Amino acid sequence: MATNGFRSMRGFTLTELLLTMAVAATLMAIAVPLFGDLAESQRLSSATREVERELQSARLKAVSVNRRLWVRTNCPVLGQLRTTEFLATAADTAADRCSPTVYPYPPADTDTMTRPNFDGPLRYLSTNTTVGTAVVEFRPDGTAREVVGGVPQPIAGTLSISVTRYGKSKTVTVNALGKVQQQ
């Protein structure tokens, strides 16, 4: 008995294709919100790492240049941070101390006798990310203090700085020895 060549070639039926597409659509409908949550989690982690890096960099710079440096959060507005050099003047607590126009980065002059010379750039956290208001002073020996009302105070235990995005938070801690950790 002879077989027809076309009968041995089989394809998918319309029912099989529709069923496969329905299963794929269901899986994608489940996965899309999970990817959105993952992206938000990554943005929060990135912002937390940025705050941690700013604190670590300020500590290292304070030791290497032998100067007291302050890291200010929400400076001058929410979601921004900046490292500033301690000047021991009224400028340290002035409202415009974080202004990049009044105190530019890099400094307008390069004379080491005029200060500030070690202010850092203004850092912007991602949109919809907030950080707790804090001022941390790093000293030339690497230790840290919390600045309250313009006056450095010893840190009892650890200083916690929370980073929040859409209701989820992570914390960066600093202890009196200047150790910075992400929680």
Could you tell me if 79 and 116 are in contact, meaning their C-beta atoms sit under 8 angstroms apart? no
d(CA 33, CA 31): 6
Looking at residue 66, its pLDDT comes to 93
Domain count, the chain: 1
Query: In terms of DSSP bridges, do strands 180-182 and 158-165 run parallel, antiparallel, or are they unpaired?
Result: unpaired
Percent with pLDDT over 70 in the chain? 93
Here the CATH number for the domain that contains residue 98 is: 3.55.40.10
Could you tell me if 125 and 139 are in contact, meaning their C-beta atoms sit under 8 angstroms apart? no
Mean pLDDT score of the chain: 88
Is 51 inside a domain boundary? yes
pLDDT tens readout for residues 90-137: 888 888 888 888 888 888 777 777 778 889 999 999 888 999 999 999
Looking at residue 160, its pLDDT comes to 96
Give the residue-averaged pLDDT of 57-61: 96
pLDDT tens readout for residues 9-21: 678 888 888 999 9
Is 86 inside a domain boundary? yes
Residues 6+ apart with CB under 8 A from 54: 71, 81, 83, 120, 123
Residue given tokens 């027809």 in the structure block: 4
